[in-house]
Amino acid sequence: MQDQNVHLFDARGVAKRFRHAAIFGALEQLHRGEVMRFVNDHEPMPLLQQIRQRYQDQIEIVAISQQPGEVVFDFLVFPSATDEESAPPSTGGCGGGSGGCGCSGH
Query: 76 by DSSP, 3-state: which?
Result: strand
Name the pTM for this structure: 0.71
Which domains are seen in the chain, by residue range?
Answer: 6-86 (3.30.110.40)
User: Rounded to an integer, what is the distance from CA 32 to the centroid of its chain?
Assistant: 11
Give 60's Cβ-side CA count (13 Å radius).
10
pLDDT tens per residue, the chain (106 residues)? 467 799 999 999 999 999 999 999 999 999 999 999 999 999 999 999 999 999 998 999 999 999 999 999 999 998 654 444 434 333 344 444 434 344 444 3
- Give the three-class secondary structure for 70: strand
Torsion of CA 93, 98, 104, 106, to 10 degrees: 130
Q: What is the pLDDT of residue 4?
A: 79
Give 27-42 pLDDT, tens digit per residue: 999 999 999 999 999 9
**So what's the pLDDT on residue 23?**
96
Residue 58 main-chain phi, psi, to 5 deg: -95, -10
